[in-house]
Chains A and B, each alone.
Chain A
């Protein structure tokens, strides 16, 4: 059973702080990893993807990947109340499907 583990939260951070979201996965064959944001009642929207070990930065977002440790993280700098949502970690499976964790609920307090 391929598994993706995320802390369900809620993770509460003050506005302007750094939010750190973590994810571990069991399938060593996964080569690419996706972070989706999902607002309540809405569909997932892609935030970032990463496939090489190390860091990848895009604006206020940084994704980090360590394949040896089977660990992926997402950092959100200068967190805004509009970042309040559930963040879903999703490694890509061998058939191309995404394997989602349960998500971490982030709350950014003004």
Chain B
């Protein structure tokens, strides 16, 4: 299938380590979103890309979080100096074009990366 692909599926990090999470969106999807889902909670928005432009990063919890999408396709979410409170599932979603009509807004989610910080 040609769904949203995320890697790794699971990541264990020691506190203070840097991690990089990868998202490969559905081919042709212009919009890409990152969400963080803590245990028992709904996903919370982190950041949004339209092609390679990061249009909204208001949800990034601190300056330790950084995301990029240099060629408008694959995106990487980087977390520096990980803390225990960063432990969560990180979800990536893509849509045809978030700036257009309703059908183009439908977001399709990847399987997520479960990050555990020890």
Instruction: Give the B-binding residues of A (Cβ under 8 A).
Output: 4, 31-32, 34, 36, 42-46, 49, 51, 88, 90, 92-93, 95-103
Report whether B43 and A98 are in contact in the complex, using a CB–CB cutoff of 8 Å. yes
The list of the 9 closest CB pairs from A to B, nearest first, reads: A96-B98, A100-B42, A97-B45, A43-B109, A95-B56, A102-B42, A100-B43, A32-B102, A44-B109
B55 within 8 A of A: yes
B31 within 8 A of A: yes
> B39-80: which residues lie under 8 A (CB-CB) from chain A?
40-45, 48, 55-56, 58-59
- Could you count the A-B residue pairs with CB atoms below 8 Å apart for me: how many are there? 62
Compute how far the CA of A99 lies from the CA of B35 in the bound complex, rounded to whole angstroms.
10
Interface of A is mostly: loop
- Cβ contacts under 8 Å, A44 to chain B: 43, 91, 109
Size bin of chain B's contact surface: 20 to 34
Min Cβ gap A25→B in Å is 12
- Cβ contacts under 8 Å, B56 to chain A: 95-97
Min Cβ gap A76→B in Å is 19
CB-CB nearest in chain B for A44? B109
Report whether B108 and A102 are in contact in the complex, using a CB–CB cutoff of 8 Å. no
- Cβ contacts under 8 Å, B98 to chain A: 95-96
Report whether B102 and A49 are in contact in the complex, using a CB–CB cutoff of 8 Å. yes
